[in-house]
Amino acid sequence: MSELNTVKSAGVLKTISGKKYRGHLVASETGAAFYEKGNDTPLVEWNYTRLHRMDNIRRGGTSSQVTVILKDDSRYIFELDYGLKVYNHMDQHWADKPVTPKTRGDELHRLAELRGEKIQVPKKHLITRRHPNRSIAGDIGIYLMLILVGAAMVFPLVYLVGSSLKPLDELFRFPPTVWPQHPTSDNFSDLFVTMGQSWIPFSRYLVNTVFITFVGTFGHLIIASMAAFVLAKYEFPGGKMFFALVTTCLMFSGYVTGIPNYLIMSRLGMIDTYWALILPAFAAPIGLFLMKQFMEGLPTALIEAATIDGAGQFRIFWHIVMPNVKPAWLTMIIFSVQGLWNTSAATVIYSEAKKTLVYALQQIQAGGIARTGQVAAANVIIVAVPILIFVFSQSRILETMASSGIKD
């Protein structure tokens, strides 16, 4: 008896007469046997000439019952103590866990060798179709389209990263290359070292942008979530109308409202302060819109239960609602960051020391083609941040976007 393929499982054996024996069932490729506890000789033994089959009934996933059926139609019931045990009809033996196709194939071969049999391994289909109503030609077409258009989508970004790593001579080589032959980080160090000695160092723009993005996003998350919470979960006069207004304002970008906004901000004395960028970001319609739609999916019972427990509204909001909408946080964050990080803010901020990264990029760009490398490097820094945030939070963001629809 080969030890390799022997599986031992502890449990209770029930005979037809109703007697119970505690012990363990041993199964191998030559047969099966039941050993009573503390006894070395088997109580019953079935070799394959007697054994018809062994059935496995899973109960609740963790405990299982095995029926040993003999060829004379008598049967034993073996109840497993613990753990998931699976009897495999294919290779007729016990396993501690469901046998994966790969190991099953391996075991099958080993068994066949031991018994001296030949086993036909079913041929695998080269293309397995997930859906019966999908044509293979269509699948190929879709892959082809995705690869072609995907390449076109990603090419400018690859070219951008490539340019940022090119030394000066390669930037102006004819014909131009996409990827540098001798990559260098000179362009990046130029940004911080060479331009670091200019009137306003490049790092200053970076710090400004990080500050604006961080404060704006954080405030937006809190303020818009509070509003979204009451709009989603309570009915009060004006609530629906307010939300309809917000939905309409999704369409109006910062450019269209830029001029009146400038007039209003100058009245409020906010021109040339960070507030001119941060406060409008707090009220960005897209964040409230997505958060409200997502919060509608929260079970109302959750809030009712907390109200009955005597929790105040703010407690409910902070300790019950907010932790339950974490995926929506990330979505709000990505859209807010996207807006703030990419803002050039040239119209509301005049002091050079308060300007943003994108403004700096535009200034470097205005420096002409001699600065091509630095432009690419600055651009890579600007582009990398939102993309990285998105890469790491994609699944959560998509979860939120599933509730983004406008019900008209």
Nearer to other proteins, 56 or 164 (CB): 164
Question: Binding to other proteins (CB under 8 A): which residues in 279-338?
Answer: 279-280, 282-283, 285-286, 288, 313, 317, 334-335, 338
> Nearest approach, Cβ of 215 to other proteins (angstroms)?
14
- Is residue 390 part of the contact set for other proteins (CB under 8 A)? yes
Nearer to other proteins, 301 or 391 (CB): 391
> Nearest approach, Cβ of 252 to other proteins (angstroms)?
7
Per-residue x/- track, 56-95, other proteins (CB under 8 A): ----------------------------------------
User: How many amino acids of this chain bind other proteins (CB under 8 A)?
Assistant: 101
Question: Binding to other proteins (CB under 8 A): which residues in 30-49?
Answer: none
- Is residue 377 part of the contact set for other proteins (CB under 8 A)? no
Nearer to other proteins, 11 or 373 (CB): 373
Tell me the three-class secondary structure of the chain, residue by residue: CCCCCCEEEEEEEECCCCCEEEEEEEEECCEEEEEECCCCCCCEEEECCCEEEEEEEEECCCEEEEEEEECCCCEEEEEECCCCCEEECCCCEEECCCCCHHHHHHHHHHHHHHHCCCCCCCCCCCCCCCCCCCCHHHHHHHHHHHHHHHHHHHHHHHHHHHHHCCCHHHHCCCCCCCCCCCCCCHHHHHHHHHHHHCCCCHHHHHHHHHHHHHHHHHHHHHHHHHHHHHHHHCCCCCHHHHHHHHHHHCCCCCCCCHHHHHHHHHHCCCCCCCHHHHHHHHCCHHHHHHHHHHHCCCCHHHHHHHHHCCCCHHHHHHHHHHHHCHHHHHHHHHHHHHHHHCCCCCCCCCCHHHCCHHHHHHHHHHCCHHHHHHHHHHHHHHHHHHHHHHHHHHHHHHHHHCCCCCCC
Question: Binding to other proteins (CB under 8 A): which residues in 205-234?
Answer: 223-224, 226-227, 229-231, 234
Nearer to other proteins, 226 or 349 (CB): 226
> Nearest approach, Cβ of 402 to other proteins (angstroms)?
4
User: Is residue 98 reached through a cis peptide bond, with omega within 30 degrees of 0 on the bond before it?
Assistant: no
Q: Which of 49, 124, 169, 255 binds other proteins (CB under 8 A)?
A: 255
- Is residue 148 part of the contact set for other proteins (CB under 8 A)? no
Question: Binding to other proteins (CB under 8 A): which residues in 155-194?
Answer: 156-157, 159-160, 163, 171-176, 178
> Nearest approach, Cβ of 193 to other proteins (angstroms)?
23
Helix crossing, 285-295 with 372-401: angle to 10°? Answer: 30
Distance, in Å, from the CA atom of 291 to the CA atom of 213, rounded to the nearest integer, reads 19
Segment interacting with other proteins, rule: CB under 8 A, options 29-37, 44-52, 90-98, 382-390: 382-390
Nearer to other proteins, 30 or 362 (CB): 362
Q: Which of 56, 92, 213, 372 binds other proteins (CB under 8 A)?
A: 372
Segment interacting with other proteins, rule: CB under 8 A, options 47-55, 100-108, 191-199, 249-257: 249-257
> Nearest approach, Cβ of 382 to other proteins (angstroms)?
5
How many other CB atoms are there within 10 angstroms of residue 52's CB atom? Answer: 15
> Nearest approach, Cβ of 97 to other proteins (angstroms)?
23
> Nearest approach, Cβ of 259 to other proteins (angstroms)?
4
Question: Binding to other proteins (CB under 8 A): which residues in 340-369?
Answer: 342, 347, 358, 361-362, 365, 369
How many other CB atoms are there within 10 angstroms of residue 99's CB atom? Answer: 19
Nearer to other proteins, 122 or 175 (CB): 175
